[in-house]
Structure 1
Amino acid sequence: MHTPEQAGSTAVDWRPKVISPEDRAVSPTADGLTEVLGDGGPVAELLAEHAALVLRGFGITPKTLERVMPLLLADRLAYVHGNSPRTKVGQNVYTSTEYPRELTISMHSEMSYAARWPARLLFFCQQAAGTGGATPVVDTSLWYRSLDPVVREAFADGLRYTQNLHGGRGFGKSWQETFETEDRDEVDRYLGSAGTDWEWKAGGGLRVTQVRPAVVEDPATGSTLWFNQADQWHPAALGDEAGAALLRTLPQTDLPQSVTFADGSPIPAEYVLQIRDRGLACAIDVDWRTGDLLLIDNVRVAHGRRPFTGSRRVLVAMSD
């Protein structure tokens, strides 16, 4: 497996910025954190400089979270058109992805497959896992540089993502869950304004197709950033047996989600596995402590999840 040490110029030289009461000489409370955050201006400056902030030791609870969240997120977006299984637990506050605890969730920037994506993500650790359960984060410029030139070149023209959303029964998510509405006209308006191709299928399902870039440019530095979810949408990332079993059940065009190159040609499985493995290899783990907050720039930093044991509860909110 490719590691940061083997990557030479792609070795990890970035880490999230940890902010604690001791560092800032404030009380280890929500009031202390409010003092650090000010009117939200310092947050923008810190995030611009570091791309990810860990706020640790302030004793944040679900009750005090509501007091500090407006200083970290200017607004809170609904998880509309999101593909991960989540539960809504508050005003545009959700559980983190609800995949089985024994699985690793590979690195990704949230909703990078969509025409609209959140600029910031805020995670709150309500309960740390018994063991494991870290949230790995990776500099998306480093992730891009870690890939073989042949892979980077292959993705230069972008990707075609396809979602098949059922109408109430079937594999994956329903369109009602995905768009947080029962109103088909509302879905039509949303997709129409996003410049997306879609069709309502017999039986009440919905197929959504989008052509998206695989990379974006960091406007501040000019660096190329890896910004896509090709590995998560490709059956190869499920593993040989699971991917083959799913394809025996459904043709690729009918999978809950699938991805090809922009021209419709298939993406080689070995490219997908390289992308997945090198993103994880270059990542820095944020090992949760109960009460921690993690704020990330969703374009400059991708995130995932390590396997865990015991109970773990991490909430997430998003903003422009």
Structure 2
Amino acid sequence: MSKQHGWKPLEITADDAGVDPTPAGLAGFLADTDKISSMLIAEKALVFRGFQVSESTLEPAMDLLLPNRLAYVHGNSPRSKVGSNIYTSTEYPPELTISMHNELSYAHAWPSRLLFFAAHEPTTGGATPVVDGTLWLESLDPAIREAFAGGVRYSQNLHGGRGLGKSWQDTFETGDQAEVEAFLKGTEAEWEWRGDGGLRVTQLRPSTVRHPVTGVEVWFNQSDQWHPAALGDEMAAELAQILPEEELPQSVRFADGSAIPDEYVIEVRDKGLDAAVDVDWHTGDLLLIDNVLVGHGRRPFTGPRRILVAMSD
């Protein structure tokens, strides 16, 4: 695990915990849920190593770490559901870097915890970088922080079965339009059903939030991931030739509707990655993060990397 800027996740082994190096030993250590909660807030991220956990023995630890496991409803990244609110990590091509972000920070509500599990380590690379959200915020140019102070406006075009990006059925895990509308009514979003069977959703969200326990302010938006400039000049140019901004699967502007300069989102992306600490994976590892205090991403990899993800409020 690489360390930068004086912070890194706390690594816990069986020796550290004073228990047997087994799934049962880990479950015994995690049974003191109040202690684990205090550790997570203090350390921001916890790595559990050497407990010989497998997919078939993961459930007891997951139930203790994620007391109210959530579905990935309104999630925008491609992934597969493999169990009871358990998903694969984002299924982007392995040669790509996934920039830093807090899960569902563009949504009306977000999980407070994320748990990652290494079912199969990659052959090379594939670390999950994590970044202290306060450090990320403080690393940005003051002019950029000021420009984002009013928040951001996210727009999604979700197709009805065929098209670029995700369908609204996959995004909301239902084929019932009434269920989608019932969900969106509680999110302060605006939406409209399109004539082609698709759905357009627009949301105004803050660029920073404060942690509900510690009160610290953190960078908390996905403007760089929703902005074509952060995809690279070549990809952005190709998208611009195919579709205007208002027809892209996802796009972002400042809350007042004005365009976010390309250089702003590129700095946000790069500063987050520069400040990140890599968590390298070994089969059986678990990583628990506070989803407000810490952002996460993915490094490129080779080999059959299989990381499972679940979340809790």
Deviation at residue 222 of structure 1 after TM alignment: 3.5
1:315 partner amino acid: L
Moved more, 29-38 or 123-132: 29-38
Structure 1 equivalent of residue 239 of structure 2: 246
Question: Residue 136 in 1 paired to residue 126 in 2?
Answer: no
For residues 13 and 198 of structure 2, the distance between their equivalents in structure 1, rounded to whole angstroms, comes to 48
Structure 2 equivalent of residue 291 of structure 1: 284
For residues 154 and 75 of structure 1, the distance between their equivalents in structure 2, rounded to whole angstroms, comes to 36
* 1:232-285: CA deviation from partner (whole Å, max 9, x where unpaired): 000001110111110110000010000000011000000111000010000000
1:55 partner amino acid: F
Question: Residue 29 in 1 paired to residue 18 in 2?
Answer: no
Per the normalisation by structure 2, the TM-score is: 0.98
1:101 partner amino acid: P
Matched position secondary structure for 1:33: helix
Structure 1 equivalent of residue 46 of structure 2: 53
For residues 212 and 25 of structure 2, the distance between their equivalents in structure 1, rounded to whole angstroms, comes to 33
Question: Residue 104 in 1 paired to residue 61 in 2?
Answer: no
For residues 214 and 110 of structure 2, the distance between their equivalents in structure 1, rounded to whole angstroms, comes to 21
Structure 1 equivalent of residue 306 of structure 2: 313
Deviation at residue 219 of structure 1 after TM alignment: 4.0
Matched position secondary structure for 1:245: helix
Deviation at residue 22 of structure 1 after TM alignment: 1.2
For residues 104 and 212 of structure 2, the distance between their equivalents in structure 1, rounded to whole angstroms, comes to 19
1:185 partner amino acid: A
Matching residue within 88, 98, 101 for 1:95: 88
Question: Residue 41 in 1 paired to residue 56 in 2?
Answer: no
Structure 1 equivalent of residue 139 of structure 2: 146
Structure 1 equivalent of residue 206 of structure 2: 213
Q: What is the alpha-carbon root mean square deviation over aligned residues?
A: 1.1
1:106 partner amino acid: S
Structure 2 equivalent of residue 159 of structure 1: 152
Q: How does 1:48-87 map to 2 (within 5 A)?
A: 48-87=41-80
For residues 24 and 71 of structure 2, the distance between their equivalents in structure 1, rounded to whole angstroms, comes to 27
Structure 2 equivalent of residue 301 of structure 1: 294
Question: Residue 226 in 1 paired to residue 219 in 2?
Answer: yes
For residues 154 and 127 of structure 1, the distance between their equivalents in structure 2, rounded to whole angstroms, comes to 42
Structure 2 equivalent of residue 8 of structure 1: none
Structure 1 equivalent of residue 229 of structure 2: 236
Moved more, 257-266 or 11-20: 11-20
1:285 partner amino acid: D
Deviation at residue 220 of structure 1 after TM alignment: 3.9
Structure 1 equivalent of residue 195 of structure 2: 202
For residues 171 and 32 of structure 2, the distance between their equivalents in structure 1, rounded to whole angstroms, comes to 33
For residues 112 and 308 of structure 2, the distance between their equivalents in structure 1, rounded to whole angstroms, comes to 17
Moved more, 218-227 or 45-54: 218-227
Question: Residue 124 in 1 paired to residue 117 in 2?
Answer: yes
1:13 partner amino acid: G
2:108 partner amino acid: A
2:59 partner amino acid: E
Q: Tell me, which stretches of 5 or more residues in structure 2 are unaligned?
A: none
Matched position secondary structure for 1:194: coil
1:104 partner amino acid: T
Count of residues in Structure 1 that have an aligned counterpart in Structure 2: 311
For residues 17 and 215 of structure 2, the distance between their equivalents in structure 1, rounded to whole angstroms, comes to 32
Report sequence identity in percent.
63
Per the normalisation by structure 1, the TM-score is: 0.95
Matched position secondary structure for 2:58: helix
1:234 partner amino acid: H
For residues 168 and 235 of structure 1, the distance between their equivalents in structure 2, rounded to whole angstroms, comes to 23
For residues 12 and 27 of structure 2, the distance between their equivalents in structure 1, rounded to whole angstroms, comes to 12
